Structure 1
Amino acid sequence: MFYSKWTSEKDLKKYLTEVEIGFEMQKSGIQMLSEGNKIYIKDDESHSLVIGSAGSGKTQAVVLPLVRTIIKSNESFLINDVKGEIMNKVGGELKKRGYNIIVLDYANLKIGNHYNVLDFPYYLYNNDEKDKAIEILENIAYYIMHDIDSTSDPFWEKTAGDYFVGLALYLFDNAKSEEINLNSIFNLSNDIFKDEKGYDKLIMNSLDKSSSTYQFLSGTLFSPKETSGGIIATFSQKIKGFVTREKLSSMMATSDFDFKNIGNEKTAIFVITGTANYANDLVSILVDELFYSLDLFKNKNNRFNLILDEFDSMKPIKDFYNRINYARGNNIKITALIKDLTNLNIVYGTNYKDLIRMCFNNIIYLLANDLYTLEEISKLCGDTEKGPLISIQELKTLDNFEEVILMTRMYPVRTKVLPDYKINWNFDNSELGFNNLEKNQINLFDIEKFLKK
């Protein structure tokens, strides 16, 4: 019988990198041990899953120390910074170090940058990457149209997604660049069926039957009236959340940063989601497009770190298992933070729960109230001759900033780390002072004027 045991501190240090707090670092990593003015980090390419319920100390024990090591290593990162607290803590230091700072503030739409989800695929479409552009459009359609809680026939969401892609491709071919936005897609759909002017037939007759645009639109525009009505109703219901909010539409009418250069310079991207329902969908779209950008244009500025807080609340990343395994080849390192494993199973489905978990070589447990999570972590830690190495009750009562860590090829680790507020990072604590979000004019494609030409 093979029994488990805790990894000793001496053995743990062999797997970690010792760093002095007051100095620059070669690579970033999650703090797993502290000793005086030194911390020990896991700075390899492995991905990490952090489990911590509300009030578990994730921000102080994991997120802030990780972000600070990233900055000290001059690496790039994107963080789902739900409340904007990470940005407020490190913004001054980023500015001092000359980072390209991008802030997407979906919580109140008052500061930061503009981000049009169609800009990047539109660029690719016009620069010899049409297939990639269509892939991205299909993914955007999935994030907007798909509802993980839906029990209805998936036909409606899937066909509404195809309709979305077809409308986007029609705009890519015929609209002005400033008219490429979600509002134009919604407006075009409304205009096609306005007053029964037959725009649907005019559009389809103008298209090459072998074209992608024709193929994506035909499933809706050639369907019986009752079926097409259901598809368009689904499409309109899903996209309305993005096009009926004035400030959000203005923010998403254009982009003021270049996706192609994200991997070429030190970049920090903060996505402040707050409680907005649509924001988690937009985070997933942003991450999806980032994967494509770093693959196509390569990551030339050291490592790119994705820190996905509330990963179990985001719309599931399409094809995530393959994406995360392929990420290492593009020098992308992922840290996903969740409340519990039950939530993760709901988002990604029970069929994929083990695959998703296998993507992460490091599982860091701080605290959970969920019985399934407690049972799983206890099982993963293994048994001694007398019973579980750590019981459910012990897992429920860990001290503040105490962690149980599971790593590949190692016995389980039980450790205690320093909270960020007790570490003197010697950072510039001044405020970032980001510009207010400017209001953009929303330019719409007019199908009636276009067809008259």
Structure 2
Amino acid sequence: MSKQRITCDRPTYTAPRERYGKRTLAKGVELLEDTKVTGLNNNVLVIGNSGCGKTGSYICSVLKNIKSSVILQDVKGLLYDMFAGELRAKGYNIIKLDFTEPEKSQGYNPLAAVKRNKDGSIYEPDVKAIADAISPVSSGCKEPYWDMSAASMIEFAIAYALEALPKEYHNMTSVLELFHTYIQNNGDAYFVKWIKDNPNTLSTRLFSETQATRPSDRTFASTAGIAASHLNCFNMKELRYIFNNKISVDLADIGRRKTAVFIKTSDTEHNLDNLVSLFYTQTLQALCREADNSPKGRLPVPVHMILDDFGATSAYISNFDKNISTIRSRDIYASLIIQSLSQLATMYDANAAKTIINNCDTLLFMGCNDPDTARMIADRASKTMDNILCMPRDKVYVIFSGRQAMLADKIAPYSMLQKDHQISI
């Protein structure tokens, strides 16, 4: 079977080889990553139920041939063990954020990504983005007031830490301590003097807003309780290895030089999901800003975000349905890996989920048991649902935007590593 490369006739354009690579989606089916050649965006939606080989077939194939920077969630650290050495030898800067064994992790300080305005004041949208990522409004929530109020309380603690405390205290540990001080009986007294002396600050405005609920004990206590539950992940002493590390990840640098970020998390404990969500949200924000400040409005080095179990809490990115529509021109792209459409709907509402799917010009289907997912693939492939649900395990459907679906042979999981003796099957 000859290889099928997705290209279009533009003979005057030559792709810089060091900038763009290619992805092998199935045996004989490749996707070139230069969008000027393909006319497609580089966002890929990978759908496959548990055990179908999404990691061993797709992710490993991508990492084997990658030329961009990459950010990926690495449950159990398997991918780090397989690829970190190889990528380092190719000149990649290797970053490991380990939320299961924090003492082995590099640092991550969310407050370091908050930029300053020309007058030295903090940039409010950055502060709000952190608070909203920590305390997101749940999908389908009928009363968003509580989550939004909790986010405002967290936003005040962040703003106060950045405006009132010395630089060495600009971290989430300080934010947590300030929050706990504030919610105590008469805890607001600790902040009053600084607030009065600095009336034209973000902290002062947010302080007034949060104080408005304090006379109502029940409302204030409920809001504080929600905020505390969202901040709970920052209260673990083990994680201070990450948050108080003097050497923290420079998010924008991921788009300046070839970098591989491995985010190690647990697949059974989800109390750190908000941290992973925050990292993804801030990283995307920082990369877009870096691209906008770069020549031609694109990153010096493209960035590929591999979002495994996307739609699960740990992969949630605030406003991703809006951002995915605009990142192509900045040379940022994503592989969204889900088990079914219903998994995506657990974290994003129907319209947001539809927008995300519609912004993936390539779909790799590896099998499922979900009727709704099977129905969508059946429509795209002009097959019956039975054909889709009974698809052989060694086959995949590859669907490119504007082209007919093709049934192809699946890449045997981890087969691309056998020749290097990196893994035994």
User: TM-score range, shorter-chain basis?
Assistant: 0.7 to 0.9
| Number of the residue aligned with 1:202 | 193
Q: Is the 8 A contact 2:93 2:260 kept in 1?
A: yes
Q: 1:286 to 1:262 in 2, by over 3 A?
A: same
Q: 1:53 to 1:252 in 2, by over 3 A?
A: same
TM-score (norm 2): 0.84
**Cα drift, residue 152 of structure 1:** 6.6
The residue type paired with residue 397 of structure 1 is C
Q: 1:14 to 1:54 in 2, by over 3 A?
A: closer
**Cα drift, residue 409 of structure 1:** 1.1
* SS in structure 2 at match of 1:415: strand
Q: Distance in 1 between matches of 2:52 and 2:65?
A: 21
| Number of the residue aligned with 1:434 | none
Q: 1:423 to 1:128 in 2, by over 3 A?
A: farther
The residue type paired with residue 66 of structure 1 is V
The residue type paired with residue 234 of structure 2 is F
The residue type paired with residue 317 of structure 2 is I
Cα deviation, 1:265-312, whole Å, max 9, x if unaligned, reads 110000111133143322222222222222223365432111111111
| Number of the residue aligned with 1:76 | 69
Please give the residue correspondences for 1:15-414 in structure 2 after superposition, counting only pairs within 5 Å.
15=7, 27-35=20-28, 40-45=30-35, 46=41, 47-70=43-66, 73=67, 75-121=68-114, 124-125=115-116, 133-146=123-136, 148=138, 151=141, 153-192=143-182, 194=184, 196=186, 198-208=189-199, 210-223=200-213, 224-226=215-217, 227-243=219-235, 245-254=236-245, 255-275=247-267, 276-298=269-291, 300-313=299-312, 314=314, 316-381=316-381, 389-414=382-407
Q: Distance in 2 between matches of 1:425 and 1:42?
A: 24
Deviates more, 1:170-179 or 1:226-235: 226-235
**Cα drift, residue 15 of structure 1:** 4.1
* Greater relative contact order (Cα < 8 A, sep 6+): 1
Q: 1:206 to 1:427 in 2, by over 3 A?
A: farther
| Number of the residue aligned with 2:14 | none
The residue type paired with residue 103 of structure 1 is K
Q: Is the 8 A contact 2:23 2:32 kept in 1?
A: yes
**Cα drift, residue 264 of structure 1:** 1.5
Q: 1:146 to 1:53 in 2, by over 3 A?
A: same
414, 418, 421: which one pairs with 2:414? Answer: 421
Q: Is the 8 A contact 1:105 1:272 kept in 2?
A: yes
Deviates more, 1:412-421 or 1:187-196: 187-196
RMSD across aligned C-alpha pairs, in angstroms?
Answer: 2.8
**Cα drift, residue 195 of structure 1:** 5.8
**Cα drift, residue 40 of structure 1:** 2.9
Q: Distance in 2 between matches of 1:374 and 1:293?
A: 37
| Number of the residue aligned with 1:439 | none
Q: Distance in 2 between matches of 1:149 and 1:300?
A: 32
**Cα drift, residue 127 of structure 1:** 6.5
**Cα drift, residue 349 of structure 1:** 1.0
Stretches of structure 2 lacking an aligned partner (at least 5 in a row): 10-16, 36-40, 292-297
The residue type paired with residue 210 of structure 2 is T
* SS in structure 2 at match of 1:400: coil
**Cα drift, residue 211 of structure 1:** 3.1
Q: Is the 8 A contact 2:255 2:299 kept in 1?
A: yes
Q: Is the 8 A contact 2:103 2:241 kept in 1?
A: no
Q: Is the 8 A contact 1:28 1:69 kept in 2?
A: yes
Cα deviation, 1:381-402, whole Å, max 9, x if unaligned, reads 2xxxxxxx32222222323341
**Cα drift, residue 82 of structure 1:** 1.9
Cα deviation, 1:56-92, whole Å, max 9, x if unaligned, reads 111122110011111xx3x211011222221111111
* SS in structure 2 at match of 1:297: helix
**Cα drift, residue 322 of structure 1:** 2.4
Q: Is the 8 A contact 2:3 2:27 kept in 1?
A: no
For these two proteins, the number of residue pairs brought into alignment is 398
Deviates more, 1:180-189 or 1:59-68: 180-189
* SS in structure 2 at match of 1:317: coil
The residue type paired with residue 409 of structure 1 is G
Q: Is the 8 A contact 1:33 1:41 kept in 2?
A: no
Q: Distance in 2 between matches of 1:110 and 1:399?
A: 44
Q: Is the 8 A contact 1:31 1:66 kept in 2?
A: yes
**Cα drift, residue 351 of structure 1:** 2.9
TM-score (norm 1): 0.80
Q: Distance in 2 between matches of 1:13 and 1:137?
A: 44
Q: Is the 8 A contact 1:61 1:401 kept in 2?
A: no
The residue type paired with residue 338 of structure 2 is I
Q: 1:402 to 1:421 in 2, by over 3 A?
A: same
Q: Is the 8 A contact 2:71 2:261 kept in 1?
A: yes
* SS in structure 2 at match of 1:68: helix
